[in-house]
Amino acid sequence: MPSFMTLTARRVFHLCALSACLMTLVACSKSEAPQAPLRSVKLVTVSDSDLSVGGEFSAEVRARVESRLGFQVGGKLVQRPVEVGQRVAAGQLLALIDAQDYQLAAQAAQAQVSSAQSQRDLAAADFKRFEALKAQNFISGAELERREAGLKSAEAALNQAKAQAQAQGNQAGYARLTSSHSGVITGVEAEVGQVVSAGQPVLRLAHDGPRDAVFAVSEQMALALRVGQTMQAKLLSTGQSVQGKVRELAASADPVTRTYAVKLALEAGERLPLGASLNVVVNGLPGSAPSVIKLPTSALRQEGQGTAVWVLDETSMTISSQSVQLGPIDGNEVVIAAGLKPGQKVVSAGVHVLTSGEKVTVYGAAPVVTEKR
């Protein structure tokens, strides 16, 4: 049997061994804390640039003159030989209404002319006979005057009948709708079988000749434009550039869109297809400046109640916050009214993950190698 002292010695030995193992494990688990990696930032150098106040608008090519054609008389539409997009020549038949009633009225008016002509001829012969009798003193002068008055009345009735016959003939001719100019049919507003009234639009005709680019602008832009102002436009389908001048500015806003229509007279635009899309560029409006400081909007960040940017100190390669005052927005850039000067380098991306005084590297530059000690 082992003695009490032997058991105690063994326990002490085991405790010492266990303590040594724990100390070894703790020593092995200790390691140096890793250093924070340097952030790589994109920079933009502050410089002066031009500020152009303007815009780009989508426009449509339209004819300078577009007529809404209709009949001068009412009736049932019986023929319409043209369709939308068809080119027509001056004098070509566009539509026809039922002219039977007008033809009958013209025939009746012509019959009235024949009757009046007979009455006039009879009155003329009667006056000639009584004139001979007066020369022989067989009748009084008063009787001859009555015959002369009857002749004049017959002549007046004949003239009236001829005028009515001409008017009825014109009415029958108005049953044919012909093109007054050469051009393209851009719209159809009545179909065969429909009864149309006098003056009701049946077709829309875009006349051959000059073209306009029509687009809409806001009230603020409309106030800045002026008649005669030169603009550049580009045809979307072919990329062709066309120059034009503002020909007309709408006097009132559209009641639905609250925008103002602008008509740009295109130079040498006769061959441009109707309805083609254009991009009209408006530049040089009031508010433009030849020298301003602009930054991308991604460089801005909110700091308290104001706006700030990160400025790089190239000596220490650290960043610091710089408050700025903003001006107008020019596309994807914003004008810096105050707070920066040309030559400074500003962080242009990832500004919300940086802190003041942080050491950084320039994106795309050679990496900095740190030696281990």
| Segment 117-160, tens digit of pLDDT | 999 999 999 888 888 888 888 888 888 888 889 889 999 999 99
> Which of these, 54, 52, 53, 63, lies nearest to 263 by C-alpha position?
63
125/162 Cα distance (integer angstroms): 21
113/161 Cα distance (integer angstroms): 5
pTM: 0.54
261 or 34: whose pLDDT is higher? 261
Q: pLDDT category, 5, cuts 50, 70, 90?
A: very low
Helix (H, G, I), strand (E, B) or coil at 122: helix
pLDDT of residue 46 exceeding 60, the answer is yes
Q: What is the mean pLDDT of residues 255-283?
A: 85
DSSP string, 233-282: EEETTT--EEEEEEEEE-SS--TTT--EEEEEEETT-TTSPTT-EEEEEE
Contact status, residue 327 vs residue 337, Cβ threshold 8 Å: yes
Least confident of 4-13, 125-134, 203-212: 4-13
Please report the sign of the dihedral spanned by the C-alpha atoms of residue 170, residue 172, residue 175, residue 179: negative
| Topology at the third CATH level for domain 100-173 | Helix Hairpins (1.10.287)
pLDDT of residue 368 exceeding 50, the answer is no
Strand partners, 87: 184
Give the model's pLDDT for residue 4: 45
300/310 Cα distance (integer angstroms): 8
**HSE on the CB side for 291, CA within 13 Å?**
4
Angle at 347 between CA 35 and CA 352, to 5 degrees: 65
7/14 Cα distance (integer angstroms): 11
**Does the domain at residues 57-61+208-282 carry the CATH identifier 3.30.470.20?**
no
Q: What is the mean pLDDT of residues 192-204?
A: 93
Give the model's pLDDT for residue 238: 85
206/275 Cα distance (integer angstroms): 11
Give the model's pLDDT for residue 225: 87
- Residue partners of 245: CB distance under 8 A and separation at least 6: 228, 229, 230, 231, 264, 265, 267
pLDDT of residue 169 exceeding 60, the answer is yes
**HSE on the CB side for 307, CA within 13 Å?**
16
Q: pLDDT category, 16, cuts 50, 70, 90?
A: low
Across 164-178, 273-287, 328-342, the highest mean pLDDT is recorded for 164-178
Give the model's pLDDT for residue 140: 86
Give the model's pLDDT for residue 187: 92
Helix (H, G, I), strand (E, B) or coil at 67: strand
Q: What is the mean pLDDT of residues 5-28?
A: 55
Q: Percent of the chain at pLDDT above 70?
A: 82
Least confident of 50-59, 63-72, 197-206, 357-366: 50-59
Helix (H, G, I), strand (E, B) or coil at 135: helix
191 or 304: whose pLDDT is higher? 191
- Residue partners of 223: CB distance under 8 A and separation at least 6: none
In CATH, the number for domain 41-51+289-362 is 2.40.420.20
DSSP string, 23-37: HHHHHHH--PPPPPP
157/124 Cα distance (integer angstroms): 13
Contact status, residue 274 vs residue 62, Cβ threshold 8 Å: yes
pLDDT of residue 371 exceeding 50, the answer is no
Report the C-alpha dihedral over residues 308, 310, 313, 316, rounded to 10 degrees. 130
pLDDT of residue 286 exceeding 70, the answer is no
pLDDT of residue 333 exceeding 90, the answer is no
Give the model's pLDDT for residue 18: 60
Return the domain boundaries, the chain: 41-51+289-362, 57-61+208-282, 67-97+184-206, 100-173
Give the model's pLDDT for residue 290: 55
In CATH, the number for domain 67-97+184-206 is 2.40.50.100
For residue 110, CA distances in Å to 105, 121, 151, 159, 260 come to 9, 17, 21, 12, 55
pLDDT of residue 258 exceeding 60, the answer is yes
> Which of these, 18, 3, 36, 177, lies nearest to 93 by C-alpha position?
177
Across 49-63, 308-322, 326-340, the highest mean pLDDT is recorded for 308-322
Average pLDDT of every residue of the chain: 82
Q: What is the mean pLDDT of residues 172-176?
A: 90
Q: pLDDT category, 218, cuts 50, 70, 90?
A: confident
